[in-house]
Chains A and B, each alone.
Chain A
Amino acid sequence: MSVLEGTAHVYGPNVDTDVIIPARYLTSTEAEELAQHCMEGIDPEFVSRVRPGDLIVAGRNFGSGSSREHAALAIKGSGVACVVAESFARIFFRNAINVGLPIVECPGVTEGAQTGDRFRVDLGAGSVENVTKGRTFRATPLPPFVQEILDAGGLMPWVARQLAREREVRVGVAPEEPAQADWRLD
């Protein structure tokens, strides 16, 4: 799994989807178009500053509020390689996984961080390093089933694979390890 390194745009807690992509732009469904207004409500300079491969580093409850997948799409469309946050709001978490935007939950990651710091994220090892400040943090591992969706490239490819294999998605309880798709059926 890949190692991502880039310049961080750092935000505090509770960055909600209304500031990530205000509702007036929701009539568009295109990532590139949405990206033109990414973070507009909290950081109007973001769009002109962001470079492909940059990272967003944020406090707790990132992506709270509306279910608009447009938020994850806008961030992905702006070239951000990964969002690292102390914690995520659950719908944003699902949306990011589903559209294939890498996200890493990492308690403490904003300590001492400033916009412009270099960060290195090792998705496989589960570590996040603030290279500029010389600090390393441990990421919270994803549940195996969620990792399985990410490995498939998102929810739609996962469903497609499942339908191709079994013609249906079966109900059941996921085994904890390993996270292959044979469900415990009672």
Chain B
Amino acid sequence: MSGLTITEKILARAAGADVVRPGEIVMARVDLAMGNDVTAPVAIARFRELGVERVWDPSKVALVPSHFVPAKDIASARLGMTMREFAREQGIEHYFELGRGGIEHILLPEQALALPGMVIIGADSHSCTYGAVGAFSTGVGSTDLAAVLATGKIWLRVPDSVKFVYEGRPGPWVVGKDLILHVISQVGDDGCAYQAMEHTGPALRYLSMDSRFTLTNMAIEAGAKSGIIPPDEVTLAYVRSRQEATGRHLPFDVLASDPDAHYAAEHVIDVSALEPQVSLPSLPSLAQPVSTAERVRVDQVFIGSCTNAKLEDLRMAAHVLRGRRADPRVRLMVIPATQEIWLRANEEGLLQVFAEAGATVSTPTCGACLGGHMGVLGPGEVCVSTSNRNYVGRMGHPSARVYLVNPAVAAATAVLGRLAHPDELGVEPPVLEPAAVGASEGGAQGDGAGGADARTGGGGA
């Protein structure tokens, strides 16, 4: 019998079993359940229909208004009210009000609520993001969330795991976003359907937590059930720093895949050969190097979303935008992912850089990412975005076209008014500090100018 992957170990433990195998259906204990302002109100209605009075464990529920906040109209104000009232009635303390929260997938790890070894069920498809801390984490719909609220359990089919081994050292301007866009272009939009993507390999030591969150965030764009990075010293340093910062010291489990674990497939990616990527309309899998893509004119540049609006992302964009201005024909919008990131970016002067470049800088919200409000695209408009989906109609009118890129490419594009590689501006690439201690062996880069903008310090560490 082969060993177990980290995913199988987490699910076995949650199901009270010694061993689980791919394809088996388990009923698993949930450690953290999350709903947002789109999905939670429907879940709350289902929960009420069931006639159960109390949620199974209010301390394990997080409710995060993120999509249509600040309320864009009366209907969305009602969604907010439903959540708020439910949180009060049920004694759910992890309800994150405007100005104290942000986008759930960045917020919950920052709040030391999403931790290694947990089973996390989120009623939002990008709930796979939490896998970056070494949790099993997947997105579900509202009825599934309602069942979890009532019982604390969820049925899951144990997924096959697929292993991605990253080798080499990422070149200039290459971050987590470029790795995952490249991977999706290789496996396809449903290439990992129903599977767990496990990211491993020596190159990960160069990836900060902020970059790693991007890697797991887009598992769903490959059709995967989950993405996971087995915890290493980078993970643990981040988790401890967040526990210190928040004073929340929940227990967690550091698990690893067995050396003889079985994988449905294994892919090796040499990241030193990668360039910044762009996904063309209208599928994330249509990724290619920015250098070879057509230089389309753009109407809007969006630097935001759970994919790329963390501190490292904002530092990277500000590094390119400092002392420059967005092209007069471009609307540039920057939306930090959480209140804490907003505050840090403000302290570091990044928000000033954006505003001086002619950007609108807003309070944390999903905003333009899902075409709900705050930057909806009109017919035929072109947007370069740091978010995760460029589907038809995703950000507004069905004839609008969206290109997905990393924050440095988005910033350079805003300046030149067309899709652009940051090298075209003659900006020195940021000096990325190795994320892991000892990762600098064999080729540390000097401490060049602009390094302060680009340090990858493990999120809000």
Contacts and interface: CB of A to CB of B under 8 A. Distances in A.
A122 interface: no
A163 B150 contact: yes
Interface in A84-143: 87, 89-91, 94-95, 98-99, 143
B245 interface: no
B153 interface: yes
A67 interface: yes
B393 A22 contact: yes
**Max count, chain B CB within 10 A of own CB: residue among A61, A67, A87, A95:** A67
A41 B392 contact: yes
B151 A174 contact: no
Contact of A68 (B73, B79, B141): B141
B143 A90 contact: no
Nearest to B71: A27
B16 A171 contact: yes
Interface stretch (A3-11, A12-20, A47-55, A75-83): A12-20
Contact of A69 (B39, B155, B391): B39
Interface residues of B, number: 64
B190 A171 contact: no
Contacts of A98: 141, 143-144
Contacts of A18: 370-371, 389, 391-394
The 6 A-B residue pairs whose C-beta atoms are closest, nearest first, are A27-B75, A98-B143, A69-B141, A95-B141, A41-B393, A174-B25
Interface of A: 14, 16, 18-19, 22-24, 26-29, 41-42, 60-61, 64-70, 72, 87, 89-91, 94-95, 98-99, 143, 145-146, 149, 154-156, 159-160, 162-163, 168-174, 183-186
Given A18-B392, A174-B27, A186-B18, 15 more contacts: A14-B283, A18-B393, A28-B75, A64-B223, A66-B125, A66-B370, A68-B39, A72-B141, A90-B223, A145-B25, A155-B147, A169-B151, A172-B15, A173-B20, A186-B17
A129 B29 CA distance: 41
Contacts of B15: 171-173
Contacts of A14: 189-190, 283
A159 B150 contact: yes
26 contacts: A14-B189, A14-B283, A16-B392, A18-B391, A18-B394, A19-B398, A27-B76, A65-B389, A66-B124, A66-B125, A66-B370, A67-B123, A69-B143, A70-B38, A90-B223, A95-B143, A145-B155, A155-B146, A160-B50, A163-B50, A163-B151, A173-B15, A173-B27, A174-B25, A186-B17, A186-B18
